Each structure stands twice: as structure tokens, then as C-alpha cells.
Amino acid sequence: MALTFYWYPKCGTCRKAKKWLDEHDVAYEAVHIVENPPSKALLKDFYEKSGLPIKRLFNTSGQKYRELGLKDKIPEMSEEEALELLASDGMLIKRPILAGDAFAVFGFKEDAYEKLLKK
């Protein structure tokens, strides 16, 4: 199973997730989420695999999120508009993202990683 790990090296949660993956000998391709944000099509795929509501894909604690006043705008947006906005700036996306063939996980919860990756 090929895994892709989208992360931002200055993010503490991302570093924790990466450390967990490394300690558990999980093979993955690391992608800097700000330098190479996932495309709209890829985000749509991740969104569908995650089963989360679209608003959960946003980095709600990020400065950019607050600057743009997205808390009030997201409920009015269509799925297409939200995905377009997310694809435009990696800092808006909840991170890290761990994506495999059949799943996508936004954020890091050790138990979720454990359940997905342990055989």
C-alpha cells in the first residue's frame, strides 16, 4: 500500500505524526503541504475517502483561516468552492494528511493511525 503524507515541517502535530510513522517503520512519501498543496481533484478524493464534512478539512486554528473570516463563509460555500479554496493554499488545509489507496486521514490521532496501519 502506497502512502502519501502531506505535512508542514514547522507544525508540531505534523512532526509528531511523522515521528510516529518513522517509529513504526511505516513507508510513506512525504510531501510539503505548503510548497506542493494537493490539487482540487486530489482533495476531492481525500474528502470522499475521509467521510468527513467539508468544513473539517480546513485548518481552523490557522492564521489564514481567521484572516479570511472563513468560519462564517464555509457554511455558505458549495463543495466545489470549498475544495477550490483549499487547493489554493496549503496553509488552509488541516494537516497532516495521511492518504492511502482506500483512506485519507486529516490531522493526527495516534489511535486512528494505529488502527489503519497495524495488521
Q: What is the pLDDT of residues 17-29, one digit of tens each?
A: 999 999 999 999 9
Q: Which three cell numbers stand for residue 105?
A: 486521514
Mean pLDDT of the chain: 95
Q: What would the mean pLDDT of 52-77 be, rounded to a whole number? A: 95
The answer to whether the CB of 93 falls within 8 A of the CB of 38 is: yes
SS3 98: strand
Helix (H) or strand (E) holding 31: strand 29-32
Q: Is 119's pLDDT higher than 70? A: no
pLDDT (0 to 100) of residue 118: 79
Identify the CATH number of the domain in which residue 78 sits: 3.40.30.10
pLDDT digits (tens, 9 = 90+) for 55-66: 999 999 999 999
Supply the pLDDT for residue 86: 97
The predicted model scores a pTM of: 0.94
CA atoms within 13 A on the CB side of 59: 27
**pLDDT beyond 90 at 104:** yes
Q: What is the mean pLDDT of residues 44-49?
A: 97
Number of domains making up the chain: 1
Domain range for 108 is 4-117
Residue 74 has pLDDT above 80, yes or no: yes
pLDDT of 4 strictly over 60 = yes
User: What integer pLDDT is reported at residue 1 of this predicted model?
Assistant: 63
